[in-house]
Amino acid sequence: MAGEPQDDCLFCKIVAGHIPATVVRETETTVAFRDINPQAPTHVLVIPKAHYRDAAALAAGAPEVAADVLRETRAVAEDEKLDSFRIVFNTGAGAGQTVWHTHAHVIGGRGLNWPPG
Ligand code: AMP
Ligand code: ZN
């Protein structure tokens, strides 16, 4: 069923506490933790606790949780004292998505080029 935990999903395992992560924030519906391979001084992933494969699937299936994720990206940026930051939802293998559980990358703490590579 949409949103249900998936046995083979890395981020569902982090939500369940079966794999450790450096959690920086948690709400009823979201978890934010540091990326294991940071691309900037701040690189935090904000995920819904529910399993959806990408941002659009989350928005379609649980729009209120999609809003929670976005709200948390700002909270992370405030916690990290970032004036400017980037929110990235890689969507599809061609765009670099490697984990099929919606995650917002919150990236900041250095200059960010536009357009991204
Ligand atoms: P994406 O390539 O957009 O799907 O992003 C997946 C992100 O998850 C990458 O930036 C990885 O570095 C990160 N990642 C993979 N495994 C872990 C983990 N166990 N804890 C934290 N971040 C992870
Ligand atoms: Zn999952």
Per-residue pLDDT tens for 99-113? 999 999 999 999 999
Domain contains 117: no
Domain contains 32: yes
Domain contains 63: yes
For the chain, the domain total comes to 1
Domain contains 115: no
% of the chain at pLDDT higher than 90: 97
How do beta strands 85-88 and 42-48 pair?
unpaired
Q: Is the dihedral of CA 63, 50, 52, 19 positive or negative?
A: positive
Q: Which domain holds residue 97?
A: 10-108
Domain contains 62: yes
Domain contains 39: yes
Q: What 3-state DSSP class applies to 67?
A: helix
Q: Point out which residues pair with 44 in neighbouring strands.
A: 34, 106
Domain contains 113: no
DSSP-derived letter for residue 18 is: S
Which ligand 1 atom lies nearest to the CA of residue 19?
Answer: 19
Residue nearest to atom 17 of ligand 1 (CA): 36
The catalytic site residues sit at 103
Give the CATH number of the domain where residue 32 resides: 3.30.428.10
Residue with tokens 């990358």: 105
Q: What is the pTM of this model?
A: 0.98
